[in-house]
Structure 1
């Protein structure tokens, strides 16, 4: 088809779209009249995905003084633009926002990746939108994963909100898939909290489920000894003296994660406080952390 016909068809399609933003986004998606290419991702050999994006200098410059200087300043760049400090996922959402004024991210991580691009290219209103999205998106279901993603970006402005969700919605947090997949650092953060909306018995059950899931990734089936190894770094943070004797027998004793002497010592102290010396890992703290 002659080039003139291609341009005519493109113009007809553009004219049929009802808004300027939709027409602009259509140009981006169809790569019509593009005049700049970005190569986004780590340098060769550093791992990670590298992706190519084509866009329009004028539209980018309209939305960002950084792009204005880059393309129309005294030292305007020519040829491909190499971007090694941004993730392709975030850069794509960033570009789409510049054309459509819509933020279409689906996760906290995507919002963080997009915000990084917005910060780099001085699009402050998008930075604000990303922060608002993160604040609204945080929930018991995703707070464990979100807190880890925020830590990767050295972002601490949501710490109070994250702690409140963990404290006030503990059962939902512990029952989430994100908790089962959580890092050791996240589990420690929860166990170190003095107030949680859960009994110590249920907290121990959740920790055991987490340890079994982690251990099962390294072997065919979980054993008491193997799971004990996974639990070892966390035992001092569990308040065994705040558990009930019945739940202790139904849980840790039945799981066979303690030696007979350890189990007897803890159970004896649950029945008669200070009746036996506690194991070295066992805290004497009997204060319930469950919220009233």
Structure 2
């Protein structure tokens, strides 16, 4: 019959037979399809080895197969020529869609990207082709930049999450600068929080002196830095020295003041003790003679004259206020004759002491005047003190007396808690504990070790006496 199809016609063959006949008819297909760039031949029927769309698109990543655009990425000897596919890029990025399909679409087969790092661009393409995130410490910032440039928010979020997981006091300032540059407010807030909690360590890191002036001002404006103002000033002088070198200026006091600009007015010199100011900032040459004189007057006379620098405390306290009680019992009749009650202590982690709990009168309601201090046990330096008072109701409760500013306590260093009371006989603590372990609400334990403070002591010891409570934040 005319038009009949024979049994050997390809249409009567099974799919497997058709494929074999097709391969026999095109024995050199794999070689013919190979690109002319000297690369490996493209395997024939590679599609059959990929069971999902994701596998097929992943195979196309950084592959010359069907590529219809090439990117010349980077500059200088680092330049790479990377193949890509307009369709895949347009589906994954509005920027690429406009580049290839918009009214001003490029007709060029090559697109130059000198501002993008090759590794970051490959990370972007890998994500667009396969949903795979491949970033590391060395490439995360450039990949974040590239993800923002080409409007790929999912990859951008992955970069930010990576940075959050790897945030530490050592890199907080570097990441803060990048977060501000890339307009990542959530990451910037986490960096600032890390700086608040570990201010000394963050300021000691190499990245601190590399920040720009605007970022420095953002940090100095904060009320939550956990550091003494004299140490903060020392770090700022280090930054000014580095900035002078960057601007190829001699690091003279005059030039340091010049590069600091408005940042100098953000340092809270009134928070320093007169001794700290006299031995540090007053001799730095950065302040004018008029500023030095006005600050000395602020420290030494009453009423205090106004100064050009802020004096509101830096509240470096986070979380909840915590209190440890070092006595198990309470007794009566502890007298006062002008001598200080003292107890020596160490802690296992960094804390900020804000005050003490003290015992009050055994004779009914009474008022007390008290000077409280924290003293560095080895050098005898007074780290903080305050003259205050409290009213006792006659009960055996403790009564709070608070320092004007929090006092930083460093792990494994001996300190002396000191209270000099003026008032009637009071209750006192008994059955004292040499070691008190306190579970912190934000995780971890604070371990206090108490020992006798020798010297001019009104009698307080580990076993009994005053200063039953230490009030602190972690």
Change (3 A) 1:230 1:126: closer
Residue number in structure 2 paired with 1:64: 92
Check if 1:175 corresponds to 2:201: no
Residue number in structure 1 paired with 2:31: 4
Superposed CA offset, 1:235-286 (max 9, x none): 22111111122221222122222234432331332244545x455x333x15
Residue number in structure 1 paired with 2:141: 109
Residue number in structure 1 paired with 2:125: 95
Check if 1:142 corresponds to 2:171: yes
Counterpart-to-counterpart distance in 2, 1:218 and 1:68: 42
CA contact (8 A) 2:257 2:264 kept: no
Counterpart-to-counterpart distance in 2, 1:288 and 1:152: 26
Residue number in structure 2 paired with 1:244: 273
Bigger Rg, structure 1 or 2: 2
Give how far 1:37 is off: 2.5
Give how far 1:87 is off: 3.2
CA contact (8 A) 1:40 1:86 kept: no
Counterpart-to-counterpart distance in 2, 1:288 and 1:65: 45
Change (3 A) 1:250 1:65: closer
After TM superposition, the structure 1 stretch with the greater mean CA deviation from structure 2, 178-187 or 108-117, is 108-117
- Give the match's secondary structure for 2:83: strand
Superposed CA offset, 1:60-94 (max 9, x none): 58x7386799989xxx9865264779734543320
Listed as ranges, the gaps of 5+ residues in structure 2 are: 1-27, 47-51, 318-351, 353-474
Change (3 A) 1:273 1:95: farther
Superposed CA offset, 1:10-35 (max 9, x none): 568xx9xxxx9999878756x55362
Give how far 1:181 is off: 1.0
Counterpart-to-counterpart distance in 2, 1:186 and 1:146: 11
Change (3 A) 1:273 1:198: farther
Residue number in structure 2 paired with 1:205: 234
- Give the match's secondary structure for 1:38: strand
Counterpart-to-counterpart distance in 2, 1:69 and 1:217: 40
Residue number in structure 2 paired with 1:231: 260
- Between structures 1 and 2, the one with greater strand share: 2
Change (3 A) 1:117 1:81: farther
RMSD, aligned CA? 4.4
CA contact (8 A) 1:105 1:111 kept: no
Counterpart-to-counterpart distance in 2, 1:229 and 1:178: 22
Change (3 A) 1:77 1:219: closer
Change (3 A) 1:264 1:117: closer
Superposed CA offset, 1:120-142 (max 9, x none): xxx56434423322332333333
After TM superposition, the structure 1 stretch with the greater mean CA deviation from structure 2, 123-132 or 165-174, is 123-132
Listed as ranges, the gaps of 5+ residues in structure 1 are: 43-48
Change (3 A) 1:248 1:50: same
CA contact (8 A) 2:174 2:211 kept: yes
CA contact (8 A) 1:199 1:289 kept: no
Counterpart-to-counterpart distance in 1, 2:80 and 2:303: 64
1:155-170 alignment to 2 at 5 Å?
A: 155-170=184-199
Check if 1:282 corresponds to 2:309: yes
* TM-score after normalising by structure 2: 0.47
Superposed CA offset, 1:104-131 (max 9, x none): 2435522422322563xxx564344233
Counterpart-to-counterpart distance in 1, 2:141 and 2:244: 27
* TM-score after normalising by structure 1: 0.71
Give how far 1:168 is off: 1.4
Give how far 1:38 is off: 3.5
Check if 1:36 corresponds to 2:78: no
CA contact (8 A) 1:91 1:113 kept: no
Number of residue pairs matched?
274
Counterpart-to-counterpart distance in 1, 2:86 and 2:248: 54
